[in-house]
Amino acid sequence: MNIFKELVISAPVSARLQFGFNENVIISAIDTSVRELKGLPIKANTFITLTQVDPVTRKTVAQNEFNYWNLDPTTDFVVSNFMEQFTSLASILDALGKDTSEFEMTVLMAIGADKEEVDVIVKTKDGAKLAQNTLQNTFYAMAKDSIGVNCPLLKCKLVVNKKGWLEIPKVMGCILPMTSTEALPEVTAQERRIRAEALTAAAPAQVRPDTLGTAKTDAPAVATAEKAVAATPGFAGL
């Protein structure tokens, strides 16, 4: 591995990715470790750092870290949250040229479910934990050889949640290879409205969340906030 390129990619930056369309982006790090805050584990998993780079030198231009909230079987949203995380991770794998059908099959087999049983399994404490770990570990196993210096240049659409924090939309096609002739989904009027309302609510100063910790990979951690609901392909039986 070219050590110089690795250092350039992982160099800390203050610039952040932008709402809307971002080009020449790579996945510079994936961290699946359990992070702690004040000695207690935080309720988040699968920390993914997206880094915008100069397409020629691969020098870091901007970056953000994204994550997913842990599945909570006590809520009414645990099934949709599972589906959202699956879709988001599958979209990234698809952009990396990986087989999303293999991802789906591996996840289902690991949790001992078919499409119709997923909504039952994730509503139990043990089932939710198994599904969550399976999602992130299968994703990491399939993506790990295609991140960092080996990651192809990507383009992505980013939105913000009601608190104003950037997030990856939970739909297929929101991250694509730069070489793809397919267009990213348009930024909708609703997405613009949510951003405008978040910016208004944040004025005059936006409070940053507590630091989540430092990724044990090749890029620093940058906290992002909660997930938004979006449509999900795959697992059509639900």
Question: Is the preceding omega at residue 204 within 30 degrees of 0, hence cis?
Answer: yes
Higher pLDDT, 200 or 2: 200
Average model confidence (pLDDT) across the chain: 84
Statement: residue 237 has pLDDT above 60: no
Place 116 in a pLDDT band, splitting at 50, 70 and 90: low
Statement: residue 48 has pLDDT above 70: yes
Q: Which two tokens stand for residue 13?
A: 């930056």
pLDDT value at position 199? Answer: 87
Q: How far apart, in whole angstroms, are the C-alpha atoms of residue 53 and residue 68?
A: 24
- Helix, coil or strand: residue 95: helix
Model pTM above 0.85:
no
Region 25-32: what's the mean pLDDT?
97
The angle formed by the CA atoms of residues 107, 110 and 113, to the nearest 5 degrees, is: 80
Higher pLDDT, 236 or 61: 61
Region 35-55: what's the mean pLDDT?
94
